[in-house]
Structure 1
Amino acid sequence: MVRLRGHHLLCLLTFVGEGYTPAFTRNYLRIAGRISSGEAIEIVEGPDDICAPMLDVPEAHCRNDSTLDRDEKALAAVADLLGLSLTPGSILRLDSERLERLRAAFAAGSVRAACEECEWAQFCTRIARDGFADALVKAKRL
């Protein structure tokens, strides 16, 4: 099971193979493959499987209060959109219908309150504007 914090539910929508460090990117590529193959996601509070390569980096934002706030905003938006109760410990599978709904809402801006202060926001906007063509997380039809 892939362990993800709230805001990474949004980040995975636009992941195209770029990241903070080569180790971070390699790790994220593996996680994108696991999610694409249908592996379940467990919602966690705080650092998750994507954060793992950054936890020894002193300036990493993984434990900042602002990042925890971003997690809460993203989790609430995703839960509302999907009509689910999502809290730490919840299990989620991203089938193609859910992924399409999330990407449509992301492109429309309706689930992006958590992205307001993110350094990647403009980059992700471009990916969404291009129809997520190069995004690496895919989903199976269930």
Structure 2
Amino acid sequence: MTILIRPHHFLCMLTFMGKGYSAAFVKNYAKIVERLNSGEDIKIVDGPDDICKPMLHEPDHHCHNGSVKARDIAAADKISEVLQVDLASVRQLSLPRSQVNTLRRAYEDGVFRIACNGCQWQEMCASIAVRDYRGCHLDPGQEPNSG
């Protein structure tokens, strides 16, 4: 299977520690990160993705807001730059652990700041990065299993 991810969630995964909008959201997110840790591929999508699913039934969910779409555009641009791949044309990719570390270093260096501006989680994520991502669910320690 393939995990559907919008560009800014690609960044959110780097600091996911089991916190989120609701218990259902966190449970879903944890399962997605577990799938990533097992080596499942990612398909980049415009708009709501697999992470958004638990919130889509809520009348005031923000998944379609212009600010979120702007965050996706900024994130896609910076991720493409850091990973040297055009997310707009590739659309499906794997996330080897080396790329997790590359993205995390870029996050620490402030490369993604423009994509995180205005996010309610920005401060929390920055504090997680300062603590070397200890306790994060996305595992940078090993390459995915092959076979």
TM-score interval (norm. to shorter): over 0.9
1:26-65 correspondence to structure 2 within 5 Å: 26-65=27-66
Residues 89 and 54 of structure 1: CA distance in aligned 2, closer, same or farther (over 3 Å): farther
Q: Look up the SS of the partner of 1:56 in the other structure.
A: coil
Gaps of 5+ in 2: none
Cα separation, 2, equivalents of 1:141 and 1:51: 26
Cα separation, 1, equivalents of 2:44 and 2:113: 18
- Number of residue pairs aligned between Structure 1 and Structure 2: 142
Q: CA deviation at 1:112?
A: 2.3
Cα separation, 2, equivalents of 1:68 and 1:89: 19
Cα separation, 2, equivalents of 1:88 and 1:124: 28
Q: Look up the SS of the partner of 1:18 in the other structure.
A: coil
Kept in 2, the 8 Å contact 1:44–1:88? The answer is no
Q: CA deviation at 1:141?
A: 2.0
Q: Look up the match of 1:97.
A: 98
Following TM superposition, the consecutive aligned residue runs of length 4 or more in structure 1 with deviations greater than 3 angstroms are: none
Q: CA deviation at 1:65?
A: 1.1
Give the aligned residue type for 1:45. Answer: D
Q: CA deviation at 1:138?
A: 1.2
Q: Percent identity?
A: 39
> Given the two structures, how large is their TM-score scaled by the length of structure 2?
0.93
Cα displacement string for residues 76-96 of structure 1 (whole angstroms, at most 9, x for unaligned residues): 100110100102761121111
Residues 88 and 119 of structure 1: CA distance in aligned 2, closer, same or farther (over 3 Å): farther
Q: Look up the SS of the partner of 2:119 in the other structure.
A: coil
Q: Look up the match of 1:132.
A: 133
Aligned residues: CA RMSD: 1.2
Cα displacement string for residues 48-96 of structure 1 (whole angstroms, at most 9, x for unaligned residues): 0000000011221101111111001001100110100102761121111
Gaps of 5+ in 1: none
Q: Look up the match of 1:69.
A: 70
